[in-house]
Chains A and B, each alone.
Chain A
Amino acid sequence: MSGVPGILFTKTLRDLRRRLAQFAAIAVTVLVGVLLFVSSYEAYRNLATSYDRTYDRLHFADLTATGGAPEQTAAAARGTDGVTTVTTRTQQDLPLRIGADKLLGRVTGMPVGSQPAVNRVDVIRGRGLSASAPDGVLVEKHAADTFGLAPGDRLRAFDGTRWHTLIVRGVAVSPEYLWPARNRQEVLADPHSFAVVFAPERTARTLAGSDAAPQTLVRLSEEARDSGGAGAVAARLRAAGAFDVVERADQASNATLREDLKGFEQLALGFPVLFLAAAAIAAYVLITRMVLAERKVIATFLAAGAPRGAVVRHYLGHGLVAGTAGAVLGVVLGLFATSAVSHAYTDALGIPDTVVERRPLVMVVGLVFGLVVGVAGGLAPALSASRTAPAEAMRGDGGTLKPPGPWSRAVARARGLPVVGRLALRELTRSRRRTLATMTGTVLALVLVLASTGMITSMRSLMNTHFGEVQRQDATVTASPRAPDLTAKLRDLPRVAAVERVTTVPVTASAGEHSYATSLSGYRPDTRMHGFRTDGGGTRELPAAGVLAGKALAEKLEVRVGDTLRIHTPAGPPRSVRLAGLVDEPIGTALYGTRDTVEALTGAPAQIYQLVVDDGTGTAGRDEVRSAVSRIDGVVAYADSQALRHQVDTYLSLFWIFVGVMLVFGGVLALTVISVTMTVNVAERASELATLRAAGVSLRRIAGMLATENLTATVLAVPLGLLVGAAAAFESLRAFNSDMFSLELDLGWPTLLAAALAMPAASLLSQIPAVRMVRNLDVAKVVRERSQ
């Protein structure tokens, strides 16, 4: 071959123009895949970089240790290699009163007049803390947004004996609360049930009282961070008396955002692969068809001494041109979309820094994806073309008729079926590649649809399980330690169906080298407020002695049933308790026992009341209950458990838009593959279809025949697609499972049914271009072409 691509490249371009619709469909599918990849992968990386930029700028702590004497823990940290900065502070969860809301908030101490050396904040509205204003505080941004707080507003904090008035000086963004989570057990919480207030250290100490456990914040050098130096520092902090040490990776906000990133990464890689696979299949079908149509020409060239490599390169070129064209456009559009998607994400999450970078490697990978599609789709037919026997050039069009296979013979015996139906069914095995391509397109589309829908339906199922079977209370009321038993008062309120007194204590459980900060809750042995799910989906009772632990917690501590746990509380010495059993919890992972067990372990009184409202109580009724409860003396916080459910439901409803988009993409994907195979089908059989048309067979009959064939292939693929789609959905959910979430796949029959019906619908739609092709068949022209 001369190496000059002139004539053959001209042929390639004309071939593309001749089959413009099909090649355009392939290029568009590549475009969507590459666009999705570039924009979402760049955005994913940008989001990670944005977090890191914010963390660096605000000196986010690498370790947060609670407990011990602050001087000792700080000194222990300072003496460790890789530690650059150490500070101490006071932090305590306290009842807050904001407007009419009573909630369990958090007060965190900060230096006045300057930023802390670790865990700085961005004051985005108002002013910073001042020594001259001891009651002036900064409110964390999410709380300010939820409660509509602005500089000058007032709120109150309960110190265990009385309410203190605090004045909002400013609104702040904190690296600790980019995702507003109290702890890893409550990463999804009613925003009205949590607020963070940054107060002058002295004020925080006053409010927290003597029970407050001081915190030591440690920042590491980059080298120490990268080389896993946090473990050694954590060990020193524990040895110095800290009972809980949380590394940055486990910090609630950061861990939640990283989980989100994990999902994002999966989306950035998984979905584009589906589109690119579909494009490769469509390219394969189309180029195979071209090779079949040009077999005699190829044979002629080969007979004349053309090297096989030149033939391979030529047909491979078709796939490469289509793939590259789609990829180039995808990369260009992806670069624009990257900025928009990155900003959309950081804005939605309230990340103060948005880093938009465009990485040449990602662009190159995007282009390579296009090339891979071209090679994957074009290589097999190109090799097949090069293996054409030159002697084929001498044969006429008649060729050799293959004997019918078992399927054709079986269909032939089905005399009850109309001939058109039998013909359509026989076509399924006439071109197995085409049938397989249609089926693969269907399977890929179902994978796309089910993997995206499964995320939402499973999340909804998780919420149903959590709020229906596990956390059965409608509201949680926190009472002042000095308040008398409020059970009777609460039970007497209208719409309140049941009340139970509960003990809930923040604790750190440890076993061997492992520790985990969580909550320990004590219930009545016959509690109605909490369900204890076993692994198999059943329920169990609270043990008379010992505690139950969430499965994820047991995994974290590497303990089994029967082992002994150490329970650390802010007040009092650590105690040991036997692990009596495990429970399966969808959100968070905690410890449970009877009230007697918990009170014996922690010495904490039962300050919490959980209540259930009458069935059918609506939002207005629930608000009335909230108001009535908040008016009771001694009540310091009220959290509506169901509000979170509504919040998440609203949040998930937005995700249905995402599912809708994925459904459209899935449809486009199925349409691309099926319509390409369909038009190839018509092109391959042009002479026989033209003959049928010439013989007076109506377009409707021919369309019916094509539709029967296509629908049969699609319907045959649906069960497999549902299975593979469910497996893909299961795998993608597994990536999200952690101690914070335990997602189980729940697609539900409506989803499966809708997905199963969508595929034949897409298949029917793809008939349109095929039927148009049949309508436009020029019998004379077809005959002329066949004679060449």
Chain B
Amino acid sequence: MTQTGAPRGGLRLRGVTKTYGTGEAALTALRDVDLDVEPGEMVVVLGPSGSGKTTLLNVIGGIETADRGEIRVAGEELTGRPPRELVGFRRDRIGFVFQFFNLVPTLTARENVEALVELTGRGDRRRVPELLEAVGLGDRMHHFPAQLSGGQQQRVSIARALATDPDLLLADEPTGALDQATGRQVLQLLQETNRRGRGVLMVTHNASVAAIAHRVVTMRDGGIHSMEHNAAPADAVSVGW
């Protein structure tokens, strides 16, 4: 692993349980999950639909709270923290990338990124063009989402996620809505981000993507079914599916 920045964004989960609903309708999405991720690590979470991947991501990102268990992310203890404090945690520590790019259609690529800086008060607006350059959109930063391809839109959303300089990037099926070539470009970007020291945790159902991770976690029925270490992660350019 070649890193150009100090590793960050590690996490530690102990006995994390999350149940939706009550009584007969209760559905346990996470069941006593224990997980350790080192700072600067790239982790891919695999699993079939309903295995608890997205819930895991939500709990780590502070979008949802666990019913039980201990959660420590990027040096911050999340257990028992009220929702208001979790907002600050997300703002300061976490970046999200979603399958659906969720861009504001009336704002340009640059403005979409700046909007998050403005809303959170974190990050530097002057750095936004640089970020867009970094994701390969230097010449398209003044385009509106409708004028961009799906891959370009996803790159904008990655730039947006990086704008607040998070310790940990959480990506939920970031290539799910993209074709192979475009998906590969997005994976390259994520890998590059990771190589700069930032932790990346990516949820996907695409097993081919696992090759680029340091560690591959497979979930089943809300629990961790297996965990594999990858001593030599593949370059995203070589990934195919």
Contacts and interface: CB of A to CB of B under 8 A. Distances in A.
Given A305-B88, A394-B172, A1 B103 contact: no
Interface string A323-349: 000000000000000000000000000
Nearest to A302: B87
Interface stretch (B57-65, B131-139, B209-217): B57-65
Contacts of B92: 305
A303 B121 contact: no
Contacts of B105: 785, 788
A781 to B, nearest CB: 8
Given A11-B106, A15-B106, A788-B105, A305 B122 contact: yes
A1 B118 contact: yes
Interface string B59-103: 001011000000000000000000000011111101110111111
Contacts of B120: 1, 304-307
Interface stretch (B108-116, B184-192, B222-230): B108-116
Given A11-B115, A787-B150, A788-B105, A300 B96 contact: yes
A785 B146 contact: yes
Interface of A: 1-2, 4, 6-8, 10-11, 14-15, 18, 294, 296-297, 299-308, 310-311, 389-391, 393-397, 781, 784-785, 787-788
A306 B96 CA distance: 12
B54 interface: yes
A745 to B, nearest CB: 50
Nearest to A305: B91
B107 A784 contact: no
A97 B105 CA distance: 82
Contact of A300 (B102, B114, B146): B102
B145 interface: yes
B164 A305 contact: yes
Contact of B63 (A294, A297, A391, A781): A391
A7 B109 CA distance: 12
A196 B218 CA distance: 104
A296 B157 CA distance: 13
A391 B91 contact: no
Given A305-B91, A306-B119, A393 B146 contact: no
B202 to A, nearest CB: 13
Contacts of A784: 146
Contacts, number: 117
Interface string B134-157: 000000000001100010010001
Interface in B35-57: 54, 57
Contacts of B107: 7, 10-11, 14
27 contacts: A1-B118, A2-B121, A7-B107, A7-B114, A7-B115, A8-B115, A11-B107, A14-B107, A294-B104, A299-B102, A301-B119, A303-B90, A303-B96, A305-B87, A305-B94, A305-B164, A306-B116, A306-B119, A307-B119, A390-B63, A393-B96, A393-B100, A394-B54, A787-B100, A788-B102, A788-B103, A788-B145
A199 B118 CA distance: 81
A396 B119 contact: no
Given A6-B114, A7-B118, A787-B177, A396 B99 contact: yes
A194 B125 CA distance: 81
B161 interface: yes
Chain B facing A: main interface SS: helix
Ordered nearest first, which 10 A-B pairs have the shortest CB separation? A305-B91, A305-B90, A14-B106, A306-B119, A300-B102, A390-B63, A7-B115, A296-B102, A7-B114, A303-B96
Nearest to B90: A305
Contacts of A7: 107, 111, 114-115, 118
Contacts of A294: 104
Nearest to A303: B96
A396 B49 CA distance: 14
B153 A788 contact: yes
Contacts of B122: 305
Contact of A297 (B95, B104, B121, B172): B104
A301 B87 CA distance: 11
A113 to B, nearest CB: 79
Contacts of B64: 391
B201 to A, nearest CB: 14
A297 B101 CA distance: 8
Contacts of B63: 303, 389-391
B49 to A, nearest CB: 12
Given A15-B106, A305-B92, A785-B146, A1 B99 contact: no
Contacts of B61: 303
A296 B122 CA distance: 21
Given A10-B107, A306-B120, A785-B105, 15 more contacts: A6-B114, A8-B119, A11-B115, A297-B103, A300-B102, A300-B157, A304-B116, A304-B160, A390-B63, A391-B54, A391-B63, A396-B100, A781-B146, A784-B146, A788-B105
Contacts of B96: 300, 303-304, 393
A534 B73 CA distance: 85
Nearest to A16: B106
B204 to A, nearest CB: 13
Given A394-B54, A396-B99, A304 B90 contact: yes
A300 B146 CA distance: 18
A10 B106 CA distance: 9
A301 B121 CA distance: 12
B5 to A, nearest CB: 21
Given A10-B111, A300-B96, A304-B95, A2 B102 contact: no
Contacts of A15: 106
Interface centre among B61, B100, B121 (most CB of A within 10 A): B100
Interface centre among A304, A781, A787 (most CB of B within 10 A): A304
B177 A306 contact: no
Given A300-B96, A303-B96, A787-B177, A2 B118 contact: yes
A732 to B, nearest CB: 44
Nearest to B177: A787
A294 B145 CA distance: 14
B114 to A, nearest CB: 5
Given A391-B58, A788-B101, A4 B118 contact: yes
A17 to B, nearest CB: 8
B99 A394 contact: yes
Contacts of B114: 6-7
A395 B63 CA distance: 13
Nearest to A5: B118
A310 to B, nearest CB: 5
B85 to A, nearest CB: 11
Interface centre among B54, B88, B106, B172 (most CB of A within 10 A): B106
Given A2-B118, A7-B115, A394-B172, A304 B91 contact: yes
Contacts of A307: 87, 119-120
A8 B58 contact: no
B57 to A, nearest CB: 8
A300 B98 contact: yes
Contacts of A14: 106-107
Interface centre among A8, A11, A305 (most CB of B within 10 A): A305
Interface centre among B102, B107, B115, B116 (most CB of A within 10 A): B102
A1 B121 contact: yes
Contact of A310 (B94, B98, B119, B160): B119
Contacts of B121: 1-2
Nearest to A299: B102
A393 B98 contact: yes
A393 B104 contact: no
A83 B114 CA distance: 74
Contacts of B101: 788
A395 B57 CA distance: 13
Interface centre among B54, B58, B105, B146 (most CB of A within 10 A): B105
Nearest to B104: A297
Contacts of A304: 90-91, 94-96, 116, 119-120, 160-161, 164
B155 to A, nearest CB: 14
A788 B115 contact: no
Contacts of B89: 305
